[in-house]
Amino acid sequence: MPDDLTHLPPATPDEVRAMVARAGIDLPEELMRQFIAAWPQFEAMVRRIPRGLGYADEPAHSFRPTRLAGMG
């Protein structure tokens, strides 16, 4: 099993409409069409994020400036 979600099929327009409705968002039809058109790029970006990483695996969570300043 891959460490990301790129193996999943893309959401269909009906699935995107259902997600928007579950979120309680009421968009005019023109905005909904724009949202559906933009969704594949957003979905692809989010699905490339690796899953299963520990908190310290993210560099922003392991940076300690005191080590650079010679204080730690």
Higher pLDDT: 18 or 1? It is 18
Instruction: Report the C-alpha gap between 12 and 26 in whole angstroms.
Output: 18
- Pick from 13, 1, 10: which is nearest to 52 by CA? 1
Q: For residue 18, is pLDDT > 80?
A: yes
Q: How many helices (H) and strands (E) does the chain have?
A: 4, 0
Helix axes 13-22, 29-47, angle to 10 degrees: 100
Domains of the chain by residue range: 13-68
User: How high does pLDDT run on average in the chain?
Assistant: 86
CB 51 within 8 A of CB 4: yes
In this prediction, residues 22-35 reach a mean pLDDT of: 97
- Residue 2 pLDDT: 65
